[in-house]
Structure 1
Amino acid sequence: MAFSSLPVAAKANPHPIPMGNRGNVDRTAVLTAPLSFDGESQVDYKAPNLLQRILGLLGNVRPGSDLTNFQLPPIFNIPKSQLQCFGEPLYCTREDMLSRCCSAESPLERLTSVVAWSISITRPLIFGVAPYNPILGETHHVSRGNLNVLLEQVSHHPPVSALHATDDREELEMIWCQHPVPKFYGASVETEVHGKRQLKLLRLGETYVMNSPKLLIRFFPVPGVDWVGNVRITCQGTGLGAELCYRSPSLMGRNRRSIKGKIMDLSSSKTLYEVDGHWDSTVTVKDVSNGKQKVIYNAAEIISGSKTPQVKDSKCVLGSESAVVWSEVSLGILSKDWDRAREAKKAVEEEQRKLKKERDSKGETWVPKHFTVSYDKKNGWDCLPIEKSVPSAPIHVPFDC
């Protein structure tokens, strides 16, 4: 399933946008279908000649430049925020892979399930378009079954997103912090995604710590978007870990979306399983002790046919919700009304500049609502949730997928 050309829209409770405090504004929540492997060919709202437009936009940018604060016109946007793209892999799935992590009997089986789940949160992006950069204080709150997911944009310059997700029935918790740093290299843009990701199996007392691969956008010789680089997953409680390599495709396009790696004993660095496959199809592990192989991940079973989130309780949808903040921009993009999209995006950005100016004039420092945030040069950004668990959301994903 690709992005829906007809958005799911519902009237939301008229709250002010983040930090606005300017009275009630009636907004509509616009929700679009999740990213999918066939989205590139099915999306119908993209403007023509995007490659030429992109190269023209980057014509005056020097190679090696940091693109963090680079502003994209809506013609280069998909109708959803980066917060939504960050959270979707957790709640837009056909099968509950997280429950497998909790129910696996042995530490090795649990780590293998965590590896499979970590691969499942790798989703394809569409060349030539990108999600909106979240505004300061923007939130995204969605539930699927007993899993409740809450995200907040805790910093704008630099952009830092925090995620907290809990499932009280399965007794699991996720705490993530994401700080993307995109750089332009002439023929490509490479984004390093800094920040720690933790998956906690609370009943077992196990914490799995992992990082994210890098996002590579290539302009030449063949335009495309790929996840590349190394991901390391460790669990100090069990002494087991994994190393995965998302491989960059060759000039001829071979090895696209391929992944190789190993599951190992951390104390001895002994390899227990070898990991091999493609994250958009199937991934297998091979037991090095006997050569037996098994499939641990099948993308078609997990991702294909994922449902679009729906507004369950419109009265409780906040004005800070991504689907509300960017609703007018999204409607403009989906209808290819670029003037409408441009004016709506300009209005959102101008409001944020105005609020920042007001805070600066009063000597006020903006404080996140749902997370405590810290930064140091050695460890980077760290985001800790204020509440112990995430409440059920007014937006939910149908559980029959």
Structure 2
Amino acid sequence: MEVVLCAGKISEGKPFSINVPFYVPDDSGDEEPASQSDRTEIQGTLKILVSKLDDLSTCNDLIAKHGAALQRSLSELEGLKVPVEGGEKIKAVNERATLFRITSNAMINACRDFLDLAETHSRRWQRALQYEREQRTHLEETIEQLAKQHNSLERAWRAAPTLSSRSERPLKGEASDEDEDTEYFDAMEDSPAFITVTATDNTHGASGGNSYDWNQDDHVRVALQPRRQRRTRVPDKPNYSLNLWSIMKNCIGKELSKIPMPVNFNEPLSMLQRLTEDLEYHELLDKAARCDSSLEQMCLVAAFSVSSYSTTIHRTAKPFNPLLGETYELDRLEEFGYRSLCEQVSHHPPAAAHHVISQRGWTLWQEITIASKFRGKYLSIMPLGAIHLQFHSSGNHYVWRKVTSTVHNIIVGKLWIDQSGDIEIVNHRTKETCQLKFSPYSYFSRDVPRKVTGVVADCVGQAHYILSGTWDEKIESAKIIQSSRGGSGSEGKQKTIYQTLPPKLLWKKYSPPENAENMYYFSALALTLNEPEDGVGVTDSRLRPDQRLMEDGRWDEANSEKQRLEEKQRAVRRRREAEASDALDEGMGKKK
């Protein structure tokens, strides 16, 4: 029997399987005949390899079986009374049979190691090929859309009654240019180098002689489907004086949850919109989705987790508490490829659910509730709940939790915010971790204020990257090339000394918008969060009347509307509790 050794895996007493995700047939049916035949040929080859692998396993079993039987027979012959010369022959044959069995086992083990190595590399190649195929499909769709838009624009131009004969002659020339563009696109589809370029950058990846045609198509797309111009400012914050005694005297004898807090303490955004503001630096996740190294990906995920605090440095006002069932949807598919949806799922205790899906290779979701403690001079805000992030191509699943936020000078002085605590980011697929430490502000400390440090380690705890920076400005990473044990610190603990390469910038905070100090210190994204949108749900935060009145500077009306909505929600809650109590009593009565 002829046995061919190829990619696969030999297992003794274990089932054998091969995962080939790259060669799963595409349901779209748009593949070229050549690629379809190639895929059929590859699948046929894989079937042959599997059958040959089964033959190899069968041969291994037969060698072991017959070799053992041969050794038993030779051992029995040695026990018989035979001439001396015959006994020596039998002994020599027995030794040769033993050597043959040892050699056969060594060959099988070597084949197993080779096949394991080939299978490992095969999975890596399959992932790379799958990514290239997705990029090519995305590029083909984009080119097809551009071609359709170009044709639509040409037809609209020809149909315009105001065009003169002079303007029609250049149009015919443009039609011939379009034919050349179509041929040019078809030729580029087969270029491996072009497939690796992302859709957003492919306008710069064409050859020099045809770059003008690519730019022209981009202009056509903008003309047919213009991106919405988002607003860049909100009405200035009114300079209303706040009489604290007028608020405190109304709090005597009342429950804290029933005290009507004026909008003077608020900013014109809801808590759901503040959660969505974590996506200010979503491009970090877009870049992380393209990383081949999970450790480098971890560095970018850590930078993203820190970047969500950069907008809080001057944001001392509290967001509006969402009503039960209130939602907020942020659709940025056209601009940035993601869509976010938040919902207030519980009122007491307040809890929100947040889900984001991106066309650029990642999904983020979180459930969050807030616990707070008033310490007299400061207020500690502790977010509870985990943040999950999963990348589609690699399957890497990251989980982390937020740190404690502290608002200082609650009673007297200027309000300011600090972030402190530890964040542990865990990749549940590879077991790699990142330990981030947010150092609390200290007047006597020599460290940089708002300092953040971190270490990225693999599954066995070996450090590979050092992270450093501040949560309100930037984060850098440095690759570790050597580590050693240093002397003991002030607390008697031995410190580790890391030798690193020069640091690389991972994230840097955007410059604030002009006149931000008069617009609640909103970031560029925050300025657009409460912008009116068509087609949003009736429960969307943009439609809250008290929040809209506050943004427009009509704070007295906003206070009245806020109090009305909160009282209405309390009445609905009391009615639900009464209905639940009646249903419980009725159920107990039937049971009796």
TM-score, normalized by length of structure 2?
0.48
2:67 is aligned to: none
- One-letter amino acid matched to 1:291: T
1:22 is aligned to: none
The whole-number CA distance in structure 1 between the counterparts of 2:471 and 2:571 is: 43
Give the drift of 1:235.
Answer: 0.3
1:97 is aligned to: 284
1:163 and 1:176 in contact (8 A); partners too: yes
Give the drift of 1:333.
Answer: 2.5
Give the drift of 1:125.
Answer: 5.4
2:386 is aligned to: 196
RMSD between aligned residues: 3.4
1:377 is aligned to: none
Task: Give yes or no for the alignment of 1:239 onto 2:426.
Answer: no
Give the drift of 1:149.
Answer: 0.5
289-298 or 356-365, which deviates more: 356-365
The gaps in structure 2 that reach 5 residues or longer are 1-229, 482-498, 514-522, 583-592
1:120 and 1:302 in contact (8 A); partners too: no
2:343 is aligned to: 152
1:390 is aligned to: none
Which residue of 432, 439, 455 maps to 1:262? 455
Give per-residue Cα distances to partners, 1:129-185, cap 9 Å, x unaligned: 210111111101111222111111111100111111112x32321120111111100
The whole-number CA distance in structure 2 between the counterparts of 1:294 and 1:54 is: 52
Summarize the alignment of residues 204-223 of structure 1 with structure 2, pairs less than 5 Å apart.
204-219=394-409, 223=415
The whole-number CA distance in structure 2 between the counterparts of 1:267 and 1:141 is: 41
1:88 is aligned to: 277
Label 1:238 to 1:46 Cα distance change in 2 as closer, same or farther (>3 A): farther
Task: Give yes or no for the alignment of 1:44 onto 2:237.
Answer: yes
Give the drift of 1:127.
Answer: 5.5
- One-letter amino acid matched to 2:408: R
1:129 is aligned to: 317
Give the drift of 1:334.
Answer: 3.3
Task: Give yes or no for the alignment of 1:75 onto 2:264.
Answer: yes
SS of match in other structure, 1:300: coil
- One-letter amino acid matched to 1:163: H
Label 1:311 to 1:281 Cα distance change in 2 as closer, same or farther (>3 A): closer
- One-letter amino acid matched to 1:262: V
Q: Identify the structure with the greater helix proportion.
A: 2
Q: Identify the structure with the greater strand proportion.
A: 1
Task: Give yes or no for the alignment of 1:332 onto 2:549.
Answer: yes
The whole-number CA distance in structure 2 between the counterparts of 1:265 and 1:108 is: 7
2:570 is aligned to: 353
The whole-number CA distance in structure 2 between the counterparts of 1:172 and 1:302 is: 27
2:6 is aligned to: none
SS of match in other structure, 2:443: coil
Give the drift of 1:48.
Answer: 3.7
The whole-number CA distance in structure 2 between the counterparts of 1:236 and 1:199 is: 11
Give per-residue Cα distances to partners, 1:276-308, cap 9 Å, x unaligned: 111222211222215211111111279964462
SS of match in other structure, 1:308: helix
The whole-number CA distance in structure 2 between the counterparts of 1:262 and 1:58 is: 50
Label 1:237 to 1:277 Cα distance change in 2 as closer, same or farther (>3 A): same
SS of match in other structure, 1:248: coil
1:18 is aligned to: none
SS of match in other structure, 1:358: helix
The whole-number CA distance in structure 2 between the counterparts of 1:111 and 1:45 is: 43
Which residue of 334, 346, 363 maps to 1:173? 363
Give the drift of 1:319.
Answer: 1.9
Label 1:73 to 1:201 Cα distance change in 2 as closer, same or farther (>3 A): same
Give the drift of 1:196.
Answer: 0.7
1:89 and 1:121 in contact (8 A); partners too: yes
Label 1:310 to 1:323 Cα distance change in 2 as closer, same or farther (>3 A): closer
Task: Give yes or no for the alignment of 1:111 onto 2:298.
Answer: yes
Give the drift of 1:68.
Answer: 7.6
2:328 is aligned to: 140
- One-letter amino acid matched to 1:140: Y
Structure ID, larger Rg: 2
- One-letter amino acid matched to 2:350: P
TM-score, normalized by length of structure 1?
0.70
Give the drift of 1:357.
Answer: 2.6
Task: Give yes or no for the alignment of 1:251 onto 2:443.
Answer: yes
Label 1:362 to 1:224 Cα distance change in 2 as closer, same or farther (>3 A): same
1:391 is aligned to: none
Label 1:190 to 1:224 Cα distance change in 2 as closer, same or farther (>3 A): same
Label 1:84 to 1:210 Cα distance change in 2 as closer, same or farther (>3 A): same
The gaps in structure 1 that reach 5 residues or longer are 1-30, 366-401
Give the drift of 1:344.
Answer: 0.6
Give the drift of 1:234.
Answer: 0.6
1:260 and 1:275 in contact (8 A); partners too: yes
- One-letter amino acid matched to 2:417: V
1:300 is aligned to: 510
Task: Give yes or no for the alignment of 1:185 onto 2:372.
Answer: no
1:216 and 1:227 in contact (8 A); partners too: yes
SS of match in other structure, 1:339: helix
Higher relative contact order (CA 8 A, sep 6+): 1
Task: Give yes or no for the alignment of 1:318 onto 2:537.
Answer: yes
Label 1:54 to 1:78 Cα distance change in 2 as closer, same or farther (>3 A): farther
Label 1:346 to 1:69 Cα distance change in 2 as closer, same or farther (>3 A): closer
2:120 is aligned to: none
The whole-number CA distance in structure 2 between the counterparts of 1:285 and 1:301 is: 21
1:173 and 1:199 in contact (8 A); partners too: yes
SS of match in other structure, 1:135: coil
Q: What is the count of residue pairs matched by the alignment? A: 316
2:559 is aligned to: 342
